[in-house]
Amino acid sequence: MTTEGLLTADPLLAAQALRGGHLAVLPTETVYGLGARASDPRAVARVYAVKGRPADHPLIVHLPALSPLDGWARKVPGYARRLAEAFWPGPLTLVLHRGERAGRHVTGGADTVGLRVPDHPLTLVVLDVLDDGVAAPSANLFGRVSPTTPQHVLDELGGRLSAGTDVVLDGGACRVGVESTIVDATRPAPRLLRPGAISAAAIAQTGGVRLDPTPSRVRAPGTLASHYSPVAAVLVVEPDELVAETTASRAGAGLTGHPSIGVLAQADVPTPPGAVRLSAPRSINEFAAVLYASLREADALGLTQVLVVAPGADAAVDEPGLAEAIRDRLSRAAQA
């Protein structure tokens, strides 16, 4: 596998690739996205093929910062406009009734479309120059761990991209590290489809409307029960269970030599004997930022299991959106 010729730091080259019908992996504040020009059905079809993504799974369309909703959505509620004004650019995706610019090739055949304006300077340049939407799911194989660095993308998709035509835009490590909050904005009151850095409380307060607690039938990315999964098995445990679970996991696998159990927990949680410490974040923000990199590291080390002490309910006082998002992603990763 060769990845030579894919990586660039020039957003104009990424815009050129997209305009030419090719793919461009773009950095965002959340994770890296595998992008195609949203108005190009053939390029979007390549996104599905490269990821191995089912054709009925909708994509999020990333929009330029100026007049982002023009033509992309219709029947936009007032609360949705308030949310867009407050949180765009930023980690919020609004699912709306699709407008004439949102073809069914990006919606998985649905009459709704997920839209957001990403908060990354390089990608905002790409979108501004392109003056079009970019359909961009996370730049990884379907169901696997999302990438938060260019190297993650090259390691996983480098052999599926075409050097010389496709590009990977190097924007450094992603600042947030978990995917955007997704809100169903097709009804009189918003419904939370996927937690992210923007909390449910912030959505209700800013939108001026209470969230509808009833389940939504709207399809959205990243909401399958099993998702974000490394090869290693993920088990979420409480701090006082960590030593016992490490011992039991190693004994059950007959392990006495090379460590095969990884641990991800905040810095104040000690590492049990015989386990590999994957990361020791000191804050909820840092936990979110290193989450996916830690799961990828576990696979790179050939570990069989990752024990994770997730941020507790008390941690959600300071970072309610991120704490809930971390627990959501771990829950889905543990289902694999």
Percent of the chain with pLDDT over 90: 83
Mean pLDDT confidence for 314-334: 84
Residue 316 pLDDT greater than 80, yes or no: no
At position 152, the amino acid (one-letter code) is: H
Residue 256 pLDDT greater than 80, yes or no: no
Output the pLDDT for position 1.
Answer: 44
φ, ψ for residue 228 (rounded to 5)?
A: 55, 40
Output the pLDDT for position 318.
Answer: 61
pTM of the prediction?
0.94
Question: What CA–CA distance (Å, rounded) separates 137 from 146?
Answer: 10
**Would you say 174 and 28 are in contact if contact means Cβ atoms under 8 Å apart?**
yes
**Would you say 58 and 110 are in contact if contact means Cβ atoms under 8 Å apart?**
yes
Number of alpha carbons in the 13 Å side-chain half-sphere of residue 154: 16
Least confident of 175-179, 243-247, 280-284, 305-309: 243-247
Residue 252 pLDDT greater than 60, yes or no: no
Q: Are strands 261-264 and 60-62 parallel, antiparallel or unpaired?
A: unpaired
CATH placement of domain 7-207: 3.90.870.10
Question: What CA–CA distance (Å, rounded) separates 73 from 165?
Answer: 31
**Would you say 307 and 238 are in contact if contact means Cβ atoms under 8 Å apart?**
no
pLDDT in tens, 60-108: 999 999 877 889 999 999 999 999 999 999 999 999 999 999 999 999 9
**Fold designation for 233-333:** Rossmann fold (3.40.50)
Read off the pLDDT band of 36 (50, 70, 90). Answer: very high
Token output for 258? 């090379």
Residue 291 pLDDT greater than 50, yes or no: yes
Sequence ranges of the domains in the chain: 7-207, 233-333
The H or E element spanning position 184 is: strand 181-184
What DSSP letter does each residue of 21-42 carry, written as one string? T--EEE--SSS-EEEEETT-HH
Output the pLDDT for position 330.
Answer: 95
Closest CA to 30 of 170, 149, 175: 175
pLDDT in tens, 190-237: 999 999 999 999 999 999 999 999 988 898 888 877 788 899 999 999
Peptide bond into 89 cis (omega under 30): yes
Question: What CA–CA distance (Å, rounded) separates 225 from 221?
Answer: 11
